[in-house]
Chain A
Amino acid sequence: MIKVESAIATLVKNNVEFVIVGGIAITAHGSAYITKDLDFCYLRSKENLKNIVSALASFKPRPRGFPENLPYIFDETTLQNATNFTFETELGDIDLLGEVAGIGNFVEVEASSILMDLFDYKVKVLSIEGLILAKRAAGRPKDLLVLPELEAMQESLKNQDAE
């Protein structure tokens, strides 16, 4: 189970360039959907990888399912060598995505994001439109299940904006 506020706080305080995507984003927009992890898309610049390491290293990230008896080094080199990561940490499960299916890399995901006030922070969150694109592209049964609610939310917000 993810400690949502602490996870967001450490990313913001360490100046990580990130956009929240996935279940936490869906909940932040208003869905009653329940998730257990935090997924975020991140900028793959050297500085940002360094900031991610500063933000998360103290929470001992390890790939989920990685043998417990094997050592794992979480540093900038590790992050440079792949794009997407699924970590278990002392804050809970955190997925780092260099790109999001249906949208693209960080720059494109950021362009599809909105700024939200979450706890005491301004945080970029993938828009409902972006979430619909991502969920359609992912296409797994669990992704498709949330589409009707997301589309109803999108429609109701359009009605609100039209007022």
Chain B
Amino acid sequence: MTKLNPKVEEWLLNPPPGSKAAAAKEFGIDLTLLIGTLRMTPTERLKSLQVSMESLEEFARQAQIWREKNHDKSRIRNRNLS
């Protein structure tokens, strides 16, 4: 973890009107997340990305399992109704 310049942190937390940071915040970018990643070293950022990718892949896998089970249940329900 590296130390982020406090003035940069303040700039991103309270972006001055008309700045690019203000435009990004207005656009919907969560600048507190950006502060968090800017505190890291590039290697730490890529390691964090790897963890995020693995979590998302696992989430997608579990969601697929849930959809398949749910689909089976709704097929049984529809069969019982008809």
Contacts and interface: CB of A to CB of B under 8 A. Distances in A.
Contact of A30 (B20, B34, B54): B34
Nearest to A116: B42
Interface residues of B, number: 35
A1 interface: yes
B53 A1 contact: yes
B82 interface: no
B7 A163 contact: yes
Contact of B43 (A118, A149, A156): A118
A117 B2 CA distance: 13
Interface string A134-162: 00000000000000110111111101100
B43 A32 contact: no
Contacts of B43: 117-119
Contact of A4 (B24, B38, B40, B50): B50
A118 B53 CA distance: 18
Contact of B7 (A24, A34, A159): A159
Contact of A28 (B31, B46, B50, B57): B46
Contact of A149 (B5, B11, B15, B24): B24
B49 A4 contact: yes
B24 A152 contact: yes
Contact of B37 (A31, A36, A117, A159): A31
19 contacts: A5-B47, A5-B50, A27-B37, A28-B45, A29-B42, A116-B42, A117-B43, A118-B46, A119-B46, A149-B34, A151-B20, A151-B23, A155-B11, A155-B20, A155-B21, A156-B8, A156-B11, A156-B38, A159-B8
Interface of A: 1-5, 24, 27-32, 34-36, 116-119, 125, 148-149, 151-157, 159-160, 163
* Top 3 A-B pairs, shortest CB-CB distance: A152-B24, A148-B24, A155-B20
Given A32-B33, A149-B24, A152-B31, 15 more contacts: A1-B53, A1-B57, A3-B50, A29-B42, A34-B53, A148-B23, A148-B27, A149-B29, A151-B20, A152-B15, A152-B20, A152-B24, A152-B25, A157-B8, A160-B7
